Structure 1
């Protein structure tokens, strides 16, 4: 058993990364419930590990690798069992910011998994190219080329959308 200080430090580190870890799981699974389950399982593995990287950057990379490997194993198991995935719920608020987020999210969902993964790691979660490459297990140049192709594909997808914001009318105060 750990001394209380070590356990609370480990919990605090995991809590700091939880939101980003869950977002990464959502991006890979397209299912919030499955993503939550996978993130919880990854958290159990992290908390039960005998040791963890001391450096914060290495810790984040280690944490994401645990989650990614867990999801890869689950996907392989699902493929063998021929199970299907439920569609991810969509946020339909109409504010400009929400509409832009929906548009980008839909574009991201249309990307192949390999491209989507690098967008999430680099653009959303702030990993460097080298860190993302280490998590995925590919060369840094592969991450860079996938990211460039993914960004170009997303711009093309967004450019094809027929959703346009209407000009806002300002109502005079009465």
Structure 2
């Protein structure tokens, strides 16, 4: 590590990972306001820290770990257990867009809705590995479990996501069922 690199501003170090870090916050918080708060709290905690890891990978893992630990602290403070929240019929129906829009958009919405229905552990591990781009070993270090546990959780999470996205579990928007009022 050169001296110049270790003196990089915090903003310069955060910029390349900001989008993935925010994505992780959104996966944990499950709503935009909660994600924004979690992201801001994480950045504030990191800035307030007297030291930060020098390497890019270490810095990235450190930031994700700060976020995860803060999120866990919030859950404990609120005295609630994370669990799957079933989607109400209104929410599910409003998640789909008219057929005239691109199929890609519909697929993105379906994946987001299915992702929100995953358990906390499944959302967390998929976000760390698939969104954050961390290796299984890095993810294991971050969440404090063995590498094999991360691998099995990722596998189960992907399977659960596939089940949620199966044709049997996808509801058509009422406007697309072919019924028209005369």
Q: What TM-score do the two structures reach when normalised by structure 2?
A: 0.76
In 2 relative to 1, CA 8–118 (structure 1 residues): closer, same or farther, beyond 3 Å? same
**Correspondence 1:103 to 2:98:** no
In 2 relative to 1, CA 55–91 (structure 1 residues): closer, same or farther, beyond 3 Å? farther
**Correspondence 1:153 to 2:160:** yes
2:64 is aligned to: 64
Query: What are the superposed Cα offsets for residues 106-148 of structure 1, whole Å, 9 maximum, x if unpaired?
Result: 1111111001111111111211001111111111100000000
1:133 is aligned to: 140
Kindly indicate whether the alpha-carbon contact (under 8 Å) linking 1:11 and 1:47 is maintained by their aligned counterparts in 2.
Answer: no
State the 1:16 CA deviation. Answer: 2.1
Provide the rounded CA distance (Å) in 2 between the counterparts of 1:162 and 1:33: 27
Query: What are the superposed Cα offsets for residues 13-47 of structure 1, whole Å, 9 maximum, x if unpaired?
Result: 11222111111011011121111111111101111
In 2 relative to 1, CA 91–23 (structure 1 residues): closer, same or farther, beyond 3 Å? farther
In 2 relative to 1, CA 11–144 (structure 1 residues): closer, same or farther, beyond 3 Å? same
**Correspondence 1:124 to 2:128:** no
In 2 relative to 1, CA 19–91 (structure 1 residues): closer, same or farther, beyond 3 Å? farther
2:180 is aligned to: none
In 2 relative to 1, CA 111–101 (structure 1 residues): closer, same or farther, beyond 3 Å? same
What is the 5 A alignment of 1:10-29?
Answer: 10-29=10-29
State the 1:162 CA deviation. Answer: 4.1
In 2 relative to 1, CA 15–163 (structure 1 residues): closer, same or farther, beyond 3 Å? same
- Where in structure 2 are there 5+ consecutive unaligned residues? 177-182
Provide the rounded CA distance (Å) in 1 between the counterparts of 2:27 and 2:160: 17
In 2 relative to 1, CA 36–146 (structure 1 residues): closer, same or farther, beyond 3 Å? same
2:44 is aligned to: 44
State the 1:163 CA deviation. Answer: 4.7
State the 1:95 CA deviation. Answer: 2.1
State the 1:71 CA deviation. Answer: 0.7
2:122 is aligned to: 115
